[in-house]
Every structure is written in structure tokens, then in C-alpha cells.
A and B are shown apart, each in its own frame.
Chain A
Amino acid sequence: MSDTLSPQIRFGSNAGQPATRRDGLAKVTGVATFAADNTPEGLLYAVYAPAKIARGRVSHLDVAAAEAHPGVTHVITPQNRPELQGDPSAKPTMFSFRTEVLQDDTVCYAGQPIALVLGETLEAATEGARLLAPQYVADPVRVALDDNLATSFEPAGFGLPGGASHGDVEAGHAAATRSIDVSYETAAQYHNAMETHAIVAQWDGDRLTLDTPSQALNLSCAGFAYFFGIPPENVTLRSPYIGGGFGSKAIPTGPQVLAILAARMTQRPVKLMFTRQQMFGPVGHRGATRQRLRLGVDENTALTVIDHEGLAETSTFDDFVEPAANASQDLYAAGALRASHRLVRLDVGTPGPMRGPGEASGSAALECAMDEMAEVAGMDPLEFRLRNYAETQPGTGLPYSSKALRECYAEGAARFGWEGRPLEPRQMQGADGLLTGWGMGTALFPCPMFAAEARATLRPDGTALFETSAVDMGQGAWTVLAQIAADSLGLTLDQVEFRAGHSALPDGGVAGGSGHTATAGGALHAAGGDVLRQLGELATEDPQSPLYGAGNSSLVARDGWLLLEEDESRRERFADILIRAGQTEMTGTGHGGRAPEAAGRHAMNSHGAVFAEVKVDPDLCQVRVTRLVGAFAAGRIINPRLTESQLMGGMIWGTSFALHEAARHDRRSGRIVNADFAGYHVPVNADVSGLEVITVHEDDPYVNALGIKGVGEIGIVGTVGAIGNAIWHATGKRVRHFPIRIADLLAP
């Protein structure tokens, strides 16, 4: 036996390998440049003053005091704000909200920018903004759902889910032998990526260069271009590294527009960076919801109806629906379904998509309601879900493109040790006196795809360059997309140079909806395929090539060679094909997306099952999640290491949702009183133990060419309900709002 092993390189199979982050070294050594790290010559710093009331108007700003402060160069208020070319209330792109850019002195929410101060230093601008000492004429605020309930309305319009229904809902209610009617509430949450929002804006004539974290580079360029009356191609946006996006960095926001405006006004580069406190305001949030769920089952414990009404908050000046009831649409087989939404206008910033929009909040309520229904039916919660397993899409009867949810249930339950769980609550108490509870929840997230373009260039040395304006917001796109790109040409990962995060590259689309790997990855794979197609044509049509006469379709690429699949002795190097054709390199292009007809043939979702164990002190009522096992089926897993991280991150966020996160308003001013990390809690290391992720094998021939479903958001879904259900199982107390806190369990 040989005493040396040749390195195991699995040619053409980078996908499936747990490659470490290609950007990891740059990040841990500080070389990676985030937006606010850019400090061009001649820079001015911009700091905006946030409103400290939620409704009313600004009656006075001490502009003179701010202007007199050494180092302050400009103070921009509604009185002197330069004109914008585009209407800030318009929606120039598919991800747009009305932007608050000092239109007038009206205050619509606390944290709204009411003035912008520019200074030679950050400190000068900061102090200048403070010296404005705003005075207000304040009106009574509406910051809780009940504060303006009377005017709730059914949203309508583009991108606003009106809901869905199938079957005869009233008949479903009537057919139920047992039923529940419960209401759940979820708290407002604010995106708090580690990297706060930031922008560095520079003008050169009518050309604009931006360093700003963006989950949708080219779309953002179009949005900014609109406001400033220039063509989108005049905007260059660089976003190589993003310290977390979570949905809030997909949409151009008022402070960004103001910074660009300031740069144009002063003809100097301008940097604006949010403080942590400013993250609670103008950049979106997960709106609070109240959800009524009415479920019924027949004598066989089959669901006769799921009736899910969602009530969500929006701002007074724009509509965004937290589409919570959507969570009920695709998951369980029920005779009838109604999922509907209503909105309440509050004096808050416009909510927006936040990791798992709709599904996270909706599943929290649905999965608890399913447990309540199982309890009424006297059935194990997992068995109840299996009893109502949807074999085809409820309502349409469409087949699922793939659905390994049954396997998720089985593998998750086995790993967790679900079997033998007592049906009744408060049955497990340890020698230490702590109550133990087990709960579970089903996870579902749809598989939307946006559109993306990519370019592949094969170089004479056999390496390749791949380009697309894709987005790595920490999820690992730099690595995962490079793996897909390398596979498309049969190269190893280190033979691929990958460029992304720059708007001049082919449009990489949107990093959102858990669809970025599938979409941008699809474009990259197609671009590589385009190169191979051209190489194949050259070779098979050239009598001097060993591949002459071979059919194009039977060629494979591996390690820099093009080979005939059924006779690998017939092969030729990429480089030789190029040289003989007199070419130094070869470029291919690819498109990623989903054909509408494909979308109509199958229902497409990722699935999962999350099992939670909590321990609760029966006397002090403090809760701790001690185990969390999630089993997920999400199609092809390109990188198991990064997938595990994504799913873990999601499950930790689920813990956060269930036990910690909530923005709290002062009822008089409407200000968020816990707008920093001392007050707005997310889990810390000590809150996370026994976290396990299982990915269940799933081949999906329909979802897209690569069989990828996406893992960015589904980890939250299911987890919240699982924890809520585990708390019930531990204590016998059904708390119908999130987060669940000591005070809730202490209540008699």
C-alpha cells in the first residue's frame, strides 16, 4: 500500500463540498472594505437629526447654532433642500417605498430624518445635528395596533398580497367536529445587521459613484438614478462586502438619497453612516401583527378549514403588508382555506421585508395554532401534522417540484428523540426542579427566483473569470457562487476568478427571497455552459481535433479538458482548442431565472421540521432553549458548511423572535425606547445550546436547472412556533404572543 495519498480532487463536483469562505481571510484580517471604510479625498461627513416624536411637525430647528459650530459646513432642512429630479413618493423600481427626504416639516414616525448636517469631521457633524435642538408641535401618536384599529383596511395594489382562498370556508367551519379560534400577536422587530447602513457618494459631472451595502445593486442604481434624473448606467454602485442585510438593504432609503443630494450640492464626496440607534427608523422593520386563526377538524382529525386572518401595521404614508397569513397557504391539506390581510396605519416608519417576511410571523402563529388543534384532538403534534400532510398543493392540486418534508419530520424527530413525548404538558421535571418541554413546528419557504445575468471568460491558461453583480451579505455568495461557476467549466475552485458586488458587472439580480444562489448561480452556470457549447462547436467541427465529429451534447468538461463522455480517451485541452481557433480567450453569457410556464407546472417550496426543547424554572419562570434540532429539505446543497451556518443563523433568529426581540414604544412620544443593543435584545452565546442542523437529501428536477431551493430564510420559520409549543409543553401555559417573557409565564 502506498504511503502517500494523492490529493482527492473531485473534478467537476465543487458543488456539495464544504469549501471555507473565499472572503474569510480578508474579513478576519480587516482587509475587506465595507462601505463606510471608504474615505475619499475631500470627504464631508453627513449626520441626520432624527425626529424624537412620532407624529406632528417640526416647529423650530436652531440652524444658526449648528452652522456656527466649528467644522459644520452645511445644514440641510426642508427649507433649503435642493430639488430632486424624481418624485420621492414614486416607486421607480419593484422594491421602492416613498422615501423621506425632507419634503416638509411633517413628522410621521420617530427616527425620521428631519435635517441633515454636513461637517469636515464626523464629530463636527454629529454635534451640529445635536445643536439643532428640534422643537415640535406634537399630535397624539398611534403606535400599537389597537391605536388605529377602527380605520384598518384591506390592502390592494401591486406587490401587496390580498390573500388567497380555496374551497368553501363556511362549509369547512360547519364540517368541523372540533375547532379552535385563537389570536396571536407578534412584536415589531428592527433589522439590526452588524454593519449599519452607510453610504459614500461621489459625483463626477452627471456620473455618480456609490459605496453602499446593497442586496440589489443594479436595481438600486435604477432607483437612485431616477431620483437624480440621470440614466441608470451613470450610477456605479460598489458593494463587495455587506455585514448583513436581512431585507433592509434591498431598498433605497431616504438617508441615502439625502447623502447623494448633499454630495451633488457641495460637489464633494459625502459619507453618511447610521448609528445603531438610527437603525430603528427609516430603513424598514418587521411590522407587528395580530393573527386570528380558526382551525377545524373532522372526526378523522383531518383539517376541514384553515382560516387565517392577518392584521399588520404599516406607516401613515405607504403600504407594506407583513403577509403573515401566506404561511397557511401551501403547508397543510385542508378542505378549505382563507388567508387574508388587513392593514392598520400607525405612526411608524414603513415596514419592509425582514428575513422570512410573512412566513416567520405567520408560521409562529400557525404552528402554535396547529399544536392547539392537536391538543384539542388529543393527538401528538407531529402525528397531527402528518395526518394533514399535503401530497399536492392545497387548492390547486399541483404537484410539488419536490417535497421531502416527511423525511424532515422523520429525521428530525429521530435525532431529537421525539418518540415517547408525553401528550400532556408539565410532565417532565428534572431532579433540579426545572420543567422540560418539547415542541415542534413545520417550516416552509417558497422558492422564488428573480432574474440574473452572468459572464464567463475562459482564459488561455485554462483558468476562468466569472462575473456578475451578485451580493454577499455574509451568507457566503463569494464562495458558493464560485463553486457553481467552477463546476460549469469543470474547473477547480482555485482556477476560478470570481468578480461580484459591482454594478458594472452583468446584473446579478436581487439577494432576497432565498433565491440568490439559485438565480445568480443559474446565470453563472449558464455562462459557463455557453463557453463549453462554443468550445464544443469549435472542436467537433475541426478535423484536427480528437473530438471531431462528436456530438456536442455528449461532451463533458473536466480539469481543463473537453472529453467525449462515452470514450474519455477522446479529449482535448481547452487551451488547445482556443489556440487552434486563433482565439486568446472565449466569453460566454448566461441568464438565470424561471420560465413562467415552469412556475405554473409545480408548487415549489423548501421544507423543514424544527424540534425544540426548553427548560423553564417553574417558580422564577425564566426560559432557556436547551436543544434545537432542525431538519431541512432545500433541494441541492451547494456548500454544506455555509448552508449549516445559514440555517443555524435562521434558527437562532427564531429563538430571538420567540423569546427576545421587540421594539417598545413610549406611548406618549411614540419614540422607540429600547433603540440600541442594551435594550433591544437578541440571543447571546449563552442562549444558544444544543443547536443541530440536518439537511435532508432532495433532488428537484423542476425548481431550476441546478435543483437549488435556497436556505436563507427557512431557518426562522417553524422555530418560533416550536419554541412556543415547547414552552406550553413545559408549563401548561399557552402564551399567544411573541416574544414570550418571564412576565407572561408568571401571570396566574
Chain B
Amino acid sequence: MKHFDYVQPKTMDEALASWEPGASWLGGGTNLVDLMKLGVTQPQRVIDLTRIPDLGEITFQQDGSVRIGAMVSNAALARHAGFAQHFPMVAEALLSGASGQLRNMATVAGNLMQRTRCAYFQEETAACNRRTPGAGCDARDSDEELRALLGASPACVATNPSDFCVPLAALEAQVEVRGVNGTREIPFADFHLLPGDQPERETALEEGELIIALHLSAAAAGFARHARYLKVRDRTSFAFATTAAAAALRMEDGIITEGRLALGAVAARPWRVAEAEALLVGHAPDAALFGRAAEAAMAGAEAPAHLEWKIDLARRTAARALAMAAVGTPARMPALPASPFGQQNGDLAHV
């Protein structure tokens, strides 16, 4: 069988010291373990972070910002009453992802680190520049539907599959990382990299750096009354997004004073366009306005003929998310979070 070292550091310092090139950090394992079974990733060393104290805390600071420990589970964050109240669309996005069992295991930092679900990345025998630099890209001329419409390169058309990251991008989260040279914060917009000619470089993490927390500011909580995540897919639950959007508005006297819009499933990172957000400011919510903003957000999108519908769907998704945000955040989490069928309140459905 394939041998690898498995270590369980008890402190952060031990963890950082145990890093070596070719190692992998292990959070919930919901993506890494699958990829190891498929032979897609073959770390020489797996560093299990579950024994390190203090990575599992959700802490509200005096200034109203929140610090989310890297090892907080998706389920725990989504169900944290205070968190969901201040950052409802983040909770909604989390609850629309995966299944209950996976959300119990998956960690927030692991979510940022998850790999693309491109079928050609996940098949060992297919050519994939992201998996094997220089190997080529079998996805490019395929029927693959999980394909970037924006920010793709000749080398790679992969998308980032995360739901959680989409509202984090919209709310300008900060990623707190630590390496042997100390701690630094990375703005969310800079965290995930577009493929360019180096698709194997997926994040801004340096060798041996580890995410230790995420930060959302008090200003980000200012969108709480008008913030929605919308995820469109053929199956009602337990499926990656066909298209998704996080929309957040600040409104005064019926006028939008600030808008945030990020799209999911369309690029190798959550897609945010400043011009689209600027269009919203100073206007009353209106379908035509949201249509224009969605259009601007998808400016430059490209798809092969068989996927042109996806550009259209992404625009519609963005416009709808904005409309939902304008109506206002529901008092309770919809029974089907982030779903077009989620209008009714009630106990969470089996999602």
C-alpha cells in the first residue's frame, strides 16, 4: 500500500515544525482523504490538526468583528446563533453545502483549501495541469459542466466548488495564516489564485503556512438585514452549485447605499466585480437594476457553445440573489437554505 507519515501535533509550533514539502494539513478530511484514495494527491506526510487546542473557537471581539478558528466545523459555525444573526448569508451558504454528515466533519479552513471538482482533475489518468504541471488539460475540450466561465486560462478551466467562500468574498473576510516566519492576514480576494499559466498554484499560502482563523469585520455585519446566498442546481440538496451568488445590500430609506455581489461556480475563485457593485449604489431595488449589475458581474464571460446557457443562468442567479437580498433576510433560516424553493420558513428540511 501507499505509505505516508501521519502526525498529530499537540501545539501550533509543533505543527509548523512538522511541515515538510509534500505534506498535507488534515482538517476534517472530507476532500483530502477522497483525493488520496483516488491517487490524485499523494502526500508523504499528513499532519492532523485536530489535536491542537484553540483552533475551534468562534470569538466575537469588542469591535463587533468575529474571529473563526480554522478547525471550527461547518455545522458548528452555521448553527452558532450569534454568527448566523450577524452573517446570515454565510450561515445560509454553509447549510446549502454538502450533507449534514459532511458538514459535521468539514472545517472552515479546509473549505478554503478544497480542490476543484473538475472530473479531469479527479481522474488520475486524465491530463491535468493543476494536478501535474505541464501535463495538459483534458477538461478544456470536454463536455465538463463544472467549467470556469471567467478567469480561465489555456492551462486550466477549473472552478472553485465552495459555497462558503462566496459570501466570504462578498464580505471581504481576512484569512489569518501562520508560518515559521510568523502570522499574517491575507485579504480574501487575494487568497485564491486564478490559474494563469501556473494552475498548480491555487492559493496565496506560502510553503508550510497554515490557516489559523478567518475574520469578518463589524462592517460586514452591517449587511445582515439584506444578505442572501442563492445556489442553483438540478438536485435540491447534496450537489455542487451549477451557479451561485451571494448578495448583500445596505439600504437606507429604500435606497441602496452599498452593495456586494459575489458569484460562485463560475471561476477558480469567487467572482466579484467592483463595477457591478457600484451600479447598485444610490438606486432603489429594481429588477432592471439587478439585471444590469448581474450583466456587469459576468462581463467577459466565455463558454463553449454547449455551456452558453450557464452564462445566462449565472446572470439570472446574480440578479435573483440581489432581489432576494433587497426583500430582506428572513427571520429564520429557510427550510431549504439558499434554494429558489426556500421561501417557506420552518424546520430545516433534510438537506
Contact = CB atoms under 8 A, between A and B. Distances in A.
Contacts of B336: 686
A620 B235 contact: no
Interface stretch (B77-85, B117-125, B166-174, B205-213): B117-125
Given A124-B1, A673-B119, A679-B119, A619 B320 contact: yes
A619 B232 CA distance: 11
Query: Interface centre among A615, A619, A623, A747, by most B CB within 10 Å?
Result: A619
A615 B126 CA distance: 39
A668 B124 CA distance: 16
Contacts of A747: 309
Contact of A52 (B125, B238, B310): B125
A624 B341 contact: yes
Nearest to B335: A686
A123 B123 contact: no
Interface of B is mostly: loop
Nearest to A615: B341
A722 B154 CA distance: 44
B236 A687 contact: yes
Contacts of B242: 742
A533 B123 CA distance: 64
A124 B313 CA distance: 46
Given A624-B236, A684-B235, A746-B309, A434 B1 contact: no
Interface in B300-344: 309-310, 312-313, 316-317, 320, 336, 339-341, 343
Given A681-B234, A684-B236, A674 B119 contact: yes
A315 B237 CA distance: 34
Contacts of A624: 236, 341
A746 B39 CA distance: 37
Interface string A647-679: 000000000000110001011110101100011
A717 to B, nearest CB: 23
B283 interface: no
A623 B236 CA distance: 9
A683 B235 CA distance: 7
B351 interface: yes
Nearest to A277: B38
B100 to A, nearest CB: 10
Interface residues of A, number: 42
B237 A686 contact: yes
A660 B239 CA distance: 11
Contacts of B239: 681
A349 B350 CA distance: 35
Contacts of B1: 71, 121, 123-124, 126-127
B233 A622 contact: yes
A541 interface: no
A673 B309 contact: no
Query: Interface centre among B2, B138, B236, B336, by most A CB within 10 Å?
Result: B236
A741 interface: yes
A620 B234 contact: no
Nearest to B287: A619
A743 interface: yes
Nearest to A624: B341
Contacts of A673: 119-120, 123, 142-144
Contacts of B234: 622-623, 659-660, 681, 739, 741-742
Interface string B132-149: 000000100111100000
Contacts of A743: 309-310, 313
A130 interface: yes
Interface string A121-164: 10110110010000000000000000000000000000000000
A3 interface: no
A685 B236 CA distance: 9
A617 B340 contact: yes
A686 B236 contact: yes
Interface in A590-642: 615, 617, 619-624
A624 to B, nearest CB: 5
Nearest to B351: A686
Contacts of A617: 340-341
B249 to A, nearest CB: 19
Given A660-B234, A747-B309, A620 B316 contact: yes
A687 B239 CA distance: 12
A687 B143 CA distance: 26
Contacts of B238: 684, 686
Given A121-B1, A686-B350, A622 B117 contact: no
A432 interface: yes
B292 to A, nearest CB: 16
Contacts of A741: 234
A620 B341 contact: no
Nearest to B232: A620
A682 B267 CA distance: 26
Interface in A97-136: 121, 123-124, 126-127, 130
A671 B309 contact: no
Interface string B29-71: 0000000000100000000000000000000000000000000
A561 to B, nearest CB: 50
A133 B349 CA distance: 45
Contact of B232 (A126, A615, A622, A668): A622
B236 A620 contact: no
Contacts of B351: 686
B340 A622 contact: yes
Query: Interface centre among B142, B234, B309, by most A CB within 10 Å?
Result: B234
A624 B232 CA distance: 12
Interface in B219-253: 232-239, 242
B16 to A, nearest CB: 30
A667 B140 CA distance: 12
A721 to B, nearest CB: 19
A660 B237 CA distance: 12
Nearest to B235: A681
B294 to A, nearest CB: 11
A619 B235 contact: no
Interface string A423-456: 0000000001010000000000000000000000
A746 B341 contact: no
Given A126-B1, A620-B313, A742-B313, A684 B237 contact: yes
Nearest to B240: A678
A376 B235 CA distance: 32
Query: Interface centre among A659, A664, A666, by most B CB within 10 Å?
Result: A666
A660 B235 contact: yes
A664 B143 contact: yes
A667 B309 contact: no
B324 to A, nearest CB: 11
B104 to A, nearest CB: 16
Contact of A620 (B142, B237, B317, B343): B317
A679 B232 CA distance: 16
Given A666-B142, A686-B349, A619 B316 contact: yes
8 contacts: A622-B234, A624-B341, A667-B142, A673-B142, A678-B117, A681-B234, A687-B237, A742-B313
Interchain residue pairs A-B with the least CB separation, the first 10:
A123-B1, A685-B350, A686-B237, A686-B236, A673-B119, A617-B340, A52-B125, A684-B238, A687-B236, A127-B1
Given A674-B119, A743-B310, 4 more contacts: A130-B124, A622-B232, A741-B234, A746-B313
